[in-house]
Amino acid sequence: MQLSEFKIIVTGAARGMGAHFVHRLAEAGAQVAAGDVDEAGLAAVVEAAAGLPGKVHARRLDVANDADVASFVEFAHGAMGGLNGVINNAGILRDGLLVKKDRTTGAVTKLSREQWDAVIAVNLTGATMLVRDAVAKMVETEQRPGVIVNISSVARHGNRGQSNYSAAKSALAANTVTWSREFAAYGVRVGAVAPGMIETPMTQGMNQKARDALVANIPVGRIGVPEDIWLAVKFVLECDYFNGRTIDVDGGLSM
């Protein structure tokens, strides 16, 4: 499909990679339904896209809320006059070791259930429910073809201090295969892109020592930028023969 043909949902659209995806799609003439909990950020994204060939329709979206997800899909379909794509980008970090013993005091701390639940709710359950409702709408309206792009992570292979995040992102990669098989009958392809270390507000909030150590281990010698990931997302959207696979875009980083 050509980018200009898309009527596509982008989650986590208020900043970072999501905002970049929205802008690139609008540049190409696509219609985009941009969702995020950050309404001020969404307003800025809409303003930045003013005058571009495409159209950005923005509304608050909490992917961890089932009713919000269902309502947003209806909003997106109505605002764009159809729906044939999703970029499943919304995500949060609540890092911490599962079990940690303080070297000085000997005190043992554990990853909280709240940290676990928050990440799973947004990064996995929310992403899954959005795909469910968006594809259901495509099937109901007999829209084909359709494309889902899941944003996974290099951390899906496992990363210290990210039990919750790794679990969610590995599940998204696995379900990329599952959904590609389930949705094939409806003309919907599913692909995933797994970023490595990318310069976004999320990674800027990382512990500096951990951040520096990661960057030092990237063979290409630099942190990635949202455009690096967009190039892979664009490929998944446009290549009608790509399905059920995850593309790693990580500069060669191995965690």
Whether the per-residue pLDDT at 203 is higher than 80: the answer is no
Q: Of residues 6, 165, 179, 230, which has the active-site annotation?
A: 165
List, edge to edge, every strand of the sheet that includes 146-151. 55-60, 31-36, 7-11, 85-88, 146-151, 188-195, 246-249
Token code pair at residue 212: 């520096």
3-state secondary structure the chain: CCHHHCEEEEECCCCHHHHHHHHHHHHCCCEEEEEECCHHHHHHHHHHCCCCCCEEEEEECCCCCHHHHHHHHHHHHHHHCCCCEEEECCCCCCCECCEEECCCCCCEEECCHHHHHHHHHHHHHHHHHHHHHHHHHHHHCCCCCEEEEEECCHHHHCCCCEHHHHHHHHHHHHHHHHHHHHCHHHCEEEEEEEECCECCHHHHCCCHHHHHHHHHCCCCCCCECHHHHHHHHHHHHHCCCCCCCEEEECCCCCC
Q: Give the model confidence (pLDDT) of 1-37 as tens digits.
A: 999 999 999 999 999 999 999 999 999 999 999 999 9
Nearest-Å Rg of the Cα atoms of the chain is: 18
pLDDT tens, residue by residue, 132-175: 999 999 999 999 999 999 999 999 998 889 999 999 999 999 99
Residues 123 and 12: their CA atoms lie apart, in Å, by: 10
165 annotated active-site: yes
Residue 10's identity, in one-letter code, is V
Query: Of all residues in the chain, what percent carry a pLDDT higher than 90?
Result: 88
Domain 3-249, second-level architecture: 3-Layer(aba) Sandwich (3.40)
Q: What is the pLDDT of residues 25-84, one digit of tens each?
A: 999 999 999 999 999 999 999 999 999 999 999 999 999 999 999 999 999 999 999 999
pLDDT for the residue 177? 98
Domain boundaries defined on the chain: 3-249
Residue 187: per-residue pLDDT: 98
pLDDT for position 255? 66
Model confidence pLDDT, tens digit, residues 216-227: 889 998 899 999
> Which residue reads 């259930």 in tokens?
113
**In this predicted structure, what is the pLDDT of residue 158?**
84
Residue 166 CA: distances (Å) to CA of 8, 60, 225: 26, 26, 21
pLDDT in tens, 94-137: 999 999 999 999 999 999 999 999 999 999 999 999 999 999 99
